């Protein structure tokens, strides 16, 4: 796995905890 995977996961978790909706989360991945 990429060395940044841990940091990337933390970013996703932080954004989700800040109130990102599932739709916004899907846009974030695309």
Tell me the per-residue pLDDT of 1-30, one tens digit each, with 9 for 90 and over: 556 688 888 888 887 777 766 777 677 776
Question: What pLDDT, on a 0 to 100 scale, did the predictor assign at position 24?
Answer: 73
Indicate the length of the chain as a whole number: 30
Q: Whole-angstrom Cα distance, residue 19 to residue 25?
A: 10
Residue-range definition of the domain harbouring residue 18:
1-30
Q: What is the pTM of this model?
A: 0.38
pLDDT at 18: 76
Per the structure, the count of domains in the chain is: 1
8 within 8 A of 16, measured Cβ to Cβ: no
pLDDT score recorded for residue 15? 79
């Amino acid at each position: 796995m990429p060395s940044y995977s841990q940091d990337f996961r933390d970013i996703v978790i932080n954004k989700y905890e800040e109130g990102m909706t599932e739709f916004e989360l899907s846009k974030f991945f695309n």
